[in-house]
Amino acid sequence: MKNFPENFLWGAAMSAPQTEGQSLNFGKTATTWDYWFQIAPEKFHQNQGPAITSGVYDHYLADCQRMQEIGLNSLRTSISWARLLPDGKTVNQAAVDFYRQYFSAMLDHGVEPIINLFHFDMPMWLMEQGGWENRASIEAFAFYAQTAFELFGDLIKKWTTFNEPLVHVECGYLYQYHYPAVVDFQRAIQVGYHTLLAHKAAVKVFKAAEQAGEIGIILNISPTYSKSEAQADLSSAFHSDLLNTRSFLDPAVLGTIPDELITLLRENQLLPEVEAGDHELIKENLVDFIGLNYYQPRRVQAPEEARMPAQMPSDFYAAYDWPDKKINPYRGWEIYPEALYDVAIMMKEAYNNIPWYVSENGMGVAEEERFMKDSGEIEDDYRIEFMKEHLNYLHKGILEGSNCFGYHAWTFVDCWSWLNGYRNRYGFYRLDLKTLERSVKKSGRWIKAVSENNGF
């Protein structure tokens, strides 16, 4: 039996834009996803847009009961900025009523809500002003955060500011998977910098209000593994960690932007515009805990030809295809559970052993109906095996002293995945896209036993 620490959080993670539905109803205004689907539906898998997703807005009471039925004692989701503040200033009472009822229902069923403020869903009213490229976004986000803290702080004791901020930076400004789908390294750096300052401004608001509870941020951490011990490969791995891990983790926990990152950006003419007071804002507003999302490792090698100044991250490091990898063919991602141990030790040794939890870990598989038994249950043994392998390595890190307090799988119920729609399924509950009916998968019954035993 592998036992986990007392009061360990066993749960799942999801987000407002991927599950709520009612995307332009009950007072909510458009986000970049609503707009992009309107003007370019062909980009979305099977024309599956953000309007309905998993229908949680209409099914949340029964869903909270379902959370309890599979043993979840916690769940992370997000608030929709465009629902709570449709114009950025005016509170939407319908949203307040919905979220208060939703969070209260979780608590009534023994599920602790961890509430995130931004999950890639930029309101269009702000995007039309430049989005995160506009420094005004910092104050706008701080006002939204303060509004959420005041309205729901009596119910929520664990807040996070952003989910995977690097993703909206990369996907929106380097790789064209999110709107505005531009390719511009300089603009990406500026967007990342303003996002960091928005996070810090929200933490400042939270601390100033002397809120009961804690505040953190959720980062996607894929440890970097070098192809070889050759100096060029090691240098590329170092640069990868600077850009992909330390760029947000160091400021969030330590209050510093790595000197080596500043030097790297300066040498490549990529430094963002900075104003007086930014340094103090970054230094003083530290998080209470960290959520780390982990799916796959990052393997790199030295690029064959690097441009100077750099035009893309690939000028600093190139992807390395490890020949011995185990792969999830549906998502195209390597399965490497050993990295979760490396993450645990990194948090212990490099980040003051700050409290942290696995805020996402999961396996997306296409056409899961292939694995449906006569009873109608999806027999997703592959997902159970995936979680077991990762939990084994997480457990090892905890035994060695890493301060991990929970494990959240992605996700509770099959959800909408941006341009991928419902191509891959991740949930403990299967979603029937025609009826929105939920049915528990084998993994849902398995996580119930894990939660009840606080181990496996």
B/e letters for 368-381, b = 16+ CB within 10 Å, e = fewer, are beebeeeeebbbbe
How buried is 350 (Cβ within 10 angstroms: 0-12 exposed, 13-18 middle, 19+ buried)?
middle
What is the CB neighbour count within 10 angstroms for residue 130? Answer: 15
Q: Is 57 helix (H, G, I), strand (E, B) or coil?
A: helix
B/e letters for 54-79, b = 16+ CB within 10 Å, e = fewer, are bbbbebbeebbebbbebbbbbbbbbb
Q: What is the mean pLDDT of residues 198-227?
A: 95
Instruction: Summarize pLDDT for 41-85 with one digit per residue, the tens.
Output: 999 999 999 999 999 999 999 999 999 999 999 999 999 999 999
Q: What is the mean pLDDT of residues 256-285?
A: 98
Catalytic residue list: 164, 360
- What is the pLDDT at residue 211? 82
- Average confidence score pLDDT of the chain: 97
Query: How many residues does this entry show for the chain?
Result: 456
Does 122 have pLDDT greater than 90? yes
Does 331 have pLDDT greater than 90? no
How buried is 179 (Cβ within 10 angstroms: 0-12 exposed, 13-18 middle, 19+ buried)?
buried
Q: What is the mean pLDDT of residues 404-415?
A: 98
The full set of domains in the chain, from first to last, is 9-59+72-326+413-423 (3.20.20.80)
- What is the pLDDT at residue 313? 97
Instruction: Summarize pLDDT for 283-317 with one digit per residue, the tens.
Output: 999 999 999 999 999 999 999 988 999 999 999 99
What is the percent of the chain where pLDDT is above 70? 100
Confidence of residue 390 (pLDDT cuts 50, 70, 90): very high
- The pTM of the full predicted model, rounded to 2 decimals, is 0.97
Round to whole Å and give the CA distance between 322 and 177: 25
- What is the pLDDT at residue 280? 98
Does 330 have pLDDT greater than 90? no
Instruction: Summarize pLDDT for 244-259 with one digit per residue, the tens.
Output: 999 999 999 999 999 9
Round to whole Å and give the CA distance between 188 and 271: 11
Does 320 have pLDDT greater than 90? yes
One DSSP character per residue, 262-321 reads HHHHHHTT-PPP--TTHHHHHHH---SEEEEE-S--EEEE--SS--SS-SSGGGT-EE--
The encoded tokens of residue 382 equal 């592959």
- What is the pLDDT at residue 372? 95
Q: What is the largest CA-CA distance in the chain?
A: 65
Round to whole Å and give the CA distance between 418 and 177: 9
Asked if 50 contacts 23 with a C-beta cutoff of 8 angstroms, the reply is yes
Does 332 have pLDDT greater than 90? no
Does 329 have pLDDT greater than 90? no
Q: Is 161 helix (H, G, I), strand (E, B) or coil?
A: strand
